[in-house]
Amino acid sequence: MKERLTNNLGLKILSVVLAIFMWLIMVNVSNPLVRDNVEVSVEMINADVLEDSNLTYEVVGRSTVSVYYDVHIRDQNRITASDFAATADLAQLYDVTGSIPVEVTIADRDVRGLIDENSIEVRPNVVRVQTEELQRKRFTLTARSVGTPEDGYATGTIRLNPQYIYVTGAESVIGQISSVGVEISVEGANSDLIGSAAINFYDANGNKLTSVANEVTTNRDKVSYTVSILRVKALAVDYQVEGEVSDGYRFTGVESTITSIAVEGLRSTLASLNTLTVPGSALRLNGATADVVREVDLADYLPENVTVADGENSIAQVTLRVEALETRNVQVDLDQVEITGQREGYTYTFDQDAMTLQIQGLSEDLDVLVEDNIRVSLDVSDLEPGDYRADFVIDLDEGFELIGHDDVNLAVEEEGSEEAADASEEETESRT
């Protein structure tokens, strides 16, 4: 078999080449007709007929047709899809089935002589459309800033022109749109921005609806904008307090979840602003017997044209600390009393060695109170011999209050008198 195939191989190859050559000669001489086809997009015409009825349409299924035709084999490669025009007249819509006949014509005059127009066949010969109520809806435009301004700056007010836009399309498509707006880049900005931006459509979750843009029309394509870029500054918060606590209690201070807050505004406005003051009218004690908790929105106390910086929490939980006071008895040695105004020739004798003081204060302060923190003095410069109720001056550190103390009698006597001798003898006996 191998010998048969390879025997006279050159002659066999030559025979094949000659056969092909002869076939080409015959084809070119006879130039027979062949059946061919191209895929042509269908153009929908007279859409205004539906618009006049407040309707819109959507092609269901294929929007192209296959055009079959007879052409001489030598002209076959000269025919392209662009040589044909396929149209569907919406005025001929059959409402029951939604079908529209497709009409195909030869668009290129030079091609008309190459194709037998009677041989043209269109498959399918109709397109199907689905009609829907047309809706025109007004949307208020929103603005979204993209990026971050230069450090120390923040995005301020964004103004759009116009502030609203009309969108027209099928009800089902309009129903997908939750908002319409523009996106503006503020990346690295340190001064006001002016420009225009394309319109975007968003769903209820804020996701961009990219396909909707091709299914609706708007009364304008772009929106003009101005963006103010504001200076950012941190302000210390000063909480003022009004009112008094109930008797037996003490206000001990303010605690807050926010002690400073970042604000934004014009540079000229922020230049002299260092503190944000919350007035006492917002933080009243009003006879409190326990901690007072208030929720304060710091934004309410900012000057005009100054706002809380973007992303900053302005709601402060403010606690006015109120603690109950305690009263404790503290003994003071009367030998430690500072007596001023003593006169020569007089003796001054207390009827007891110690005095008990009733002192009120906070528990933790009373725990560290010692006698050295108490200063007791007595002025005797105006006293003549006799018995007196000692009128002590008692000084306590801040935070303590003297509620009362034991009555102490003071005997003032002249030296050498019988009373002084008895007193001296009694004092000696008491010491022994």
pLDDT digits (tens, 9 = 90+) for 362-374: 988 888 887 777 8
Q: Identify the residue whose tokens are 């540079």.
A: 267
Q: What CATH architecture applies to the domain 326-431?
A: Beta Complex (2.170)
pLDDT of residue 42: 95
Task: With beta carbons less than 8 A apart as the criterion, state whether 178 and 142 touch.
Answer: no
pLDDT of residue 420: 52
Domain at 134-231: CATH code: 2.170.120.40
Task: Categorize the per-residue pLDDT at 432 as very low, low, confident or very high, splitting at 50, 70 and 90.
Answer: very low
pLDDT of residue 428: 47
Q: Report the alpha-carbon angle 43-47-50, nearest 5.
A: 140
pLDDT of residue 78: 87
Identical fold between 134-231 and 240-324 = yes
**pLDDT tens across 317-340, in order?**
999 999 999 999 998 989 889 999
Task: Categorize the per-residue pLDDT at 417 as very low, low, confident or very high, splitting at 50, 70 and 90.
Answer: low
> How many angstroms from the chain centroid is the CA of residue 48?
45
Query: What count of other Cβ atoms lies within 10 Å of the Cβ of residue 135?
Result: 17
pLDDT of 211 over the 80 cut: yes
Domain range summary for the chain, segments of one domain joined by +: 1-26, 31-46+57-124, 134-231, 240-324, 326-431
pLDDT of 275 over the 90 cut: yes
| Mean pLDDT of the 404-428 span | 72
Contacts 24+ apart (CB under 8 A), 191-194: 191/229, 192/226, 192/227, 192/228, 192/229, 193/225, 193/226, 193/227, 193/229, 194/224, 194/225, 194/226, 194/227
Which tokens go with 324?
């109950």
Amino acid identity for residue 387 in this structure:
D
CATH class of 240-324: mainly beta
pLDDT of 45 over the 50 cut: yes
Pick the CATH number of 31-46+57-124 from 2.170.120, 2.40.160, 1.10.3470, 3.80.10: 2.170.120
| Mean pLDDT of the 294-304 span | 94
What is the overall mean pLDDT for the chain? Answer: 87
